[in-house]
Homo-oligomer: A and B are copies of this chain.
Amino acid sequence: MTRYSVILGNLGNTCDRFLSSGYKDQPPKAEMIRQAAAIPGVTGVELVGTWDVTKENVDEVGGLLAKHGLSCVSIIPDHFSQKRWGRGAFTAKDPSIRAQALEETMIAAELARKLKCPLINLWPGQDGYDYAFQSDFRLERRWTIEAVAKAAKAYPDIRFSLEYKPKEPRTHSTWARAADTLLVAKETGLPNVGVTIDTGHSFVAGENVAESAVILSDYGKKLFHMHFNDNYRSWDDDMIVGSVHLVEYIELLFWLRETGYEGWYSMDQYPYREDGQGALRESVDFLRGVESLLEGTAMQEIRALIAEGDAVKSSAWLRKKIFGK
């Protein structure tokens, strides 16, 4: 039974570098939680540290979630939206910033325990580099491994999931692709460190997202978490799921089932100019549509198509699913 969640901030205001004040208005947190709970199928939320949840408001937030029957699915420490992270968090050349990045992770884990949240999703977006001759690749990768290992050892009851992305806000991220990031997770040697696939990040990385899911799964069940959104493959447009791709999502959901993925399907979008709740609702509804295609004998049929490998037959199968004939 698939469990759907949303990143709470997706219901808030959105901005970009040209319109920094934002395209919309920011609703109150209670309203955002209410909106999340009202999306059919959604039973969990992800929270961003500092933005959504802090030591000060954790009890209040927990109460609001409980009131609306929502689980806290993951906490994402804020390693990206403050000036201090501008030149990196875990990979900052300044050791005091690196210490703060770890501290922020520890705080998030502490909050997670309070909220009975099982997972910290690490997306240190400012970690990476922009220019040639700017990054000591070896050192900086090791710093991330050490920081993650420290946090994961301190909180063995929490899973730490590393979210990769090829670029933005840096021109090159430290955790850029599925397999690179799996290497980082494996280097920690800890069972509670794994990887998050964000479908849009995977598209931008030029990956076949289904294949990435299988690779992560195949090496010790390291696919811990899934973020869903869509884009045109050149940039992380964070669009409504299914607005661009279809086949890729069918293949992905097939393999998530096939490999026994048991995590959440979490919506992660940036509805700049759209109604946030509507965008998330449509995304969940689209994924439920894909799931409906996989009912009945479909899983068996796909296995047979894969075993045979005849593209004419798989095209025919797909066409009949889409057009009903």
B309 close to A135 (CB less than 8 A):
yes
Q: Within the assembled complex, what's the spacing in Å between the Cα atoms of A132 and B307?
A: 12
Q: Within the assembled complex, what's the spacing in Å between the Cα atoms of A183 and B322?
A: 36
B179 close to A311 (CB less than 8 A):
no
User: Which residues of A in the span 64-111 have a Cβ within 8 Å of any Cβ on B?
Assistant: 80-83, 85-87, 93
A273 close to B87 (CB less than 8 A):
yes
B131 close to A314 (CB less than 8 A):
yes
B131 close to A240 (CB less than 8 A):
yes
Enumerate chain B residues within 8 angstroms of A83, measured Cβ to Cβ: 19, 21-23
Copies, count: 4
A324 contacts partner chain B, Cβ-Cβ < 8 Å: yes
CB within 8 Å for A323 and B293 given contacts A179-B180, A215-B137, A311-B243: yes
User: Interface on A for B, CB 8 Å cutoff?
Assistant: 14-23, 80-83, 85-87, 93, 125-126, 129-138, 141, 166-169, 171-172, 177-180, 182-183, 205-206, 208, 210-211, 214-215, 218-219, 231-235, 237, 239-240, 242-244, 246-248, 250-251, 254-255, 270, 272-275, 278-279, 281-282, 285-286, 289-290, 292-293, 302, 305-312, 314-319, 322-325
